[in-house]
Amino acid sequence: MKIIAGSGFLIFGILWLYWLQSIRTDVNKALPPDQQDPWKWWAWDVSWREAMRRNLKMHWFWGEHARLFPTSPKRIYCSVSIVLAFTIPITCMIVSILIGRPI
């Protein structure tokens, strides 16, 4: 059960980040070049202020994606990925408690 819980969290957590990046990329491509935001997820050497700006900007990207691409399933995939990233480990813990073998 530990392997299922850990791998489920890891796989769907990575998928969640992938879909977020994909949403940001779609919106960036639709913007004029002077308004595009060139940051990447894997840039770890940023200040706290820049990290907060990116978090707020991701909310803007999400809203813009909904406006520009209303029928795109990427937002649903992203939402389902984060829900599954937490639901799978919780379900594994509940099942292991019910069968009498705690994690």
6 vs 50 pLDDT, higher one: 6
- With 0-12 / 13-18 / 19 or more C-beta atoms within 10 angstroms meaning exposed / middle / buried, residue 33 is exposed
Q: How many CB atoms lie within 10 A of CB 69?
A: 15
Spell out the residues 6+ positions from residue 84 whose beta carbon is closer than 8 angstroms to its own. Answer: 8, 12
Looking at residues 46-62, what average pLDDT do you find? 79
Q: List the one residue out of 35, 33, 34, 86 whose CA is nearest residue 61.
A: 35
Q: Please tell me the distance from the alpha carbon of residue 27 to that of residue 36, in angstroms, as a whole number.
A: 9
Query: Given pLDDT bands bounded at 50, 70 and 90, which one contains residue 103?
Result: low
What span, in angstroms and rounded, lies between the C-alpha atoms of 6 and 41?
22
Whole-model pTM: value is 0.81
Q: Strand, helix or coil at 49?
A: helix
Count the residues in the chain: 103
